[in-house]
Structure 1
Amino acid sequence: MVGFDAKNKDTINPLYLCRSCNLILREPFQLTCGHRQCKTCIEATEGDVVKCAECSEESPKSEIMPDRGFRNDMKLLQISCSLCDWNSLFKEYEEHLIKTHPNPVCEFCHEKFNSTIRLDEHKQKECTKITVSCPLKEYGCAESVLRVQLADHYLTDQHQTAIVNVVKRSGFKIASDQHERMSTMDVDMGQGASNSMMTTTNETMSSQMQEIYEAINILASGIQTLNDDTQRLSTDSVRLQSSVELLTQDFATLKLSVEEQGAFLDGIKPNQEILQQEVASLKQKIDDMQYVSYDGTLIWKITSFNEKMMDAQSERQTSIYSPPFYSSPTGYKMRARLYLHGDGNARRTHMSLFFVLMRGPNDAILKFPFNYKVTFCLYDQT
């Protein structure tokens, strides 16, 4: 749990901000140095000693007490809600957040949370889409990057130069302070005073060495982050490789399915050609029916003659039939059959034309056998 966020946080007196989470104090506790931090920020510190985030002075947890008077002073602070246009006193802010924003959404990554407390923790420590300042900002690395890009930033020349500057500055300061103190020591000073001065010098050196250790810890933290990212990338690589294998299998299955469909379509193609021929034949029959005669006369115009002649010569289709015609509206049903390349004794030398008597709808009232005269006439229209 961290402090309260607000739109006007930057305009509020820094005294009311937690030195640890940089948010408005939630249940302020006062350290022995006089600075204040959130109760939960103190409880999150491991060990029995809390180091002040501002002055680095250490305070035993047993001596850190809640600052109720300061908390009462905070009640009259003017607050602008970080999630809406609400403006009122700080004492009403927590109740407003609970009632109005029970499930807030992070404006950076759009993740949903069950409380504003959890949202503030997320933005303070977890959100990868939020922009944060480099930990070495005070040492010359003023870069602001997305939290997810911090690991990459630690490898930049700017950050590495800042680390070197921290170490150099601290080392130079230690040497300079030591030289200054040693040069001001009176060689005639008594042994007790000399020991006292040496003790002070050692304490100063220890404090400065602590600053170096902190800088090194920041670098180590960056290295650990890089190691974690490397491990994560390795895991992602294995997962992606597995996904690629699955996609390869799916592709092989899809390819086989396409090949099977191709073979099926190849099998359909001959059938389609046959159907097209049958449709053409039916169309021809329909066209023929439009010219049915009912007066015993048939005028048969043979179309595509050359093509039909070639079919007859190759014996692909030796004969063709004329459209039916009738001797009268209630008479005999008849048609002609033509062998373009001849039939019987006339084969390959003459055309053979036959009269065909068909079964008709009026046969029951007609006279049989059929003994009427039939006349054939051939007209060459070339």
Structure 2
Amino acid sequence: MAESETSVSISSGGYPIEIFPGGFDEKFRCNSCTKILREPVQSFCGHRFCKSCIQEVIRHGERVQCQSCINEGAGDDDDYSILKEEQMFPDNGVRREMASKGVKCINTGCTWADVFKNYDDHARNCEYRPVACSECQTLVEKINMENHLKESCLGRKIKCKTCNQEIAMKDETQHNKVCPKAMVKCEACGKKKIMREKMGFHQEKECASQKISCPVGCDPVERGAFVGHLEKKAGMHIHWMMQQIETLTHEVSNKIQALTPMDTIERMGQMITVLQAKIQEQDNQIRGLMDRNADQPRVNNNVDIQSLNNKTKALDLKTGTFEGIVTTLHREIERCITALDTLERHRGSERETNEELKRKIQQAERAISLKDATISELDSRLRQLEIVSYEGTLVWKIAEWSKHRREAMAGRVTSLYSPHFYTGRTGYRLCARLYPNGDGIGKKTHVSVFFVVARGNYDALLSWPFIQRVTFMLLDQNNRDHVVDSFRPDPASSSFQRPTTEMNIASGCPLFMPLKKLEDVGTSYVKDDTLFLKIVVDSERPAGGGAV
């Protein structure tokens, strides 16, 4: 049994040397960080290191020589002093020796003292441990955090006295500079107690000292002096207004011309001009006749007057007819202008409706995307539930085995995790981790299989450490020669304690199955590019691996 060297420990570096009040043996000291060993491992040269320290040292060079060996006089050609990950082994002897040593808590104010094996649990839960405040990130003792959040934390929430908005204490000064309900003074007119959110309206509509632009193009003028400015330069402003009226008249004429054909308007105008000329001619004739009649005897006056009256009536009839035509034409032009304005307003309303529909479509698309993601997640969970086991046994089907081997040999995906399984409905949550190209001392020569204890929903009700026997079986698909290996967990190993992260460090069999035997033509462990691994957990505890 060996621990997976690719797992990452909970903490980095060693323990402070102050935890041993009565002194300590120098073999407890890490040869890298010089602190007390955390998860001690021993190198091929015999020196001890924290697991995280040696991983960090090896990561920064391809051929790293042990510094302690160099200090002791080792040369560059001494292979035993070269640090290699596959030659590092857990030093359980030193671990057991350290476990019974008396230690104390180094947090100020804490009086806890016990043996070393209980130090990690206390350090995680110590009430005097400095923790970062979630609001201001200041390091505060855990026992004093509640008072800190209520009384001295600069990130605690308070309410603005003016707008009643909830803000952080440290942001109060900055908020007061932009608070919309705060009373401020207008710098232009000097008026006080104006609500900041209404200052824009005051400056735009009310402030007498605020300068406004003259539409003619003059320099900005204070609102209070604007009327006097218009009177002072009345001629220039009237001239500008006449230009605007002329522009509007031209635009109206263009709209009328766009609605009514020009040849019709010109024809009507010519007819009106002809009628006016004829009326003027008839009027002149009537005046001439009246003048002649005044000089001549009144013999045939009645006949002439009757004739003139008939002509006048005919002219009046024609004039009335054309006046009706002109009036109808004007009404038609006004109707067309009104229809044009209505059409423009309708187009504006349709544009707004289209924009609103676009916004709703975008919102609907976002909602559909979120639902698709939720459906995909639920589908994945459903597939996991279909294969979950609650009997402490898992048959893991590993398809596309050749693909996994190639990726592991290339260093792209070095390990595979099995689906989770359980020792009971309220039991331990477990899984397996397989290295197709081996790990640790079995790298490149064996298939390595490790066992992982994962964090479950019922861990608080279970017995710890986990001690059930674990059996791995690589199934021969011809049912003749299964490969079987088993181990009983080490109760002192952190791999089998109650998980404090999502998964504990994996432990198992780095030399589980030789690759040469697996790939032998005469074996049937791999068929149709598929391999089957069975994991069995013995139910030795009285509660059957469930809650106690």
TM-score (norm 2): 0.26
Larger fraction in strand: 2
Q: Which is bigger in relative contact order (C-alpha 8 A, separation at least 6)?
A: 2
TM-score (norm 1): 0.34
Structure of higher CA gyration radius: 1
Larger fraction in helix: 1
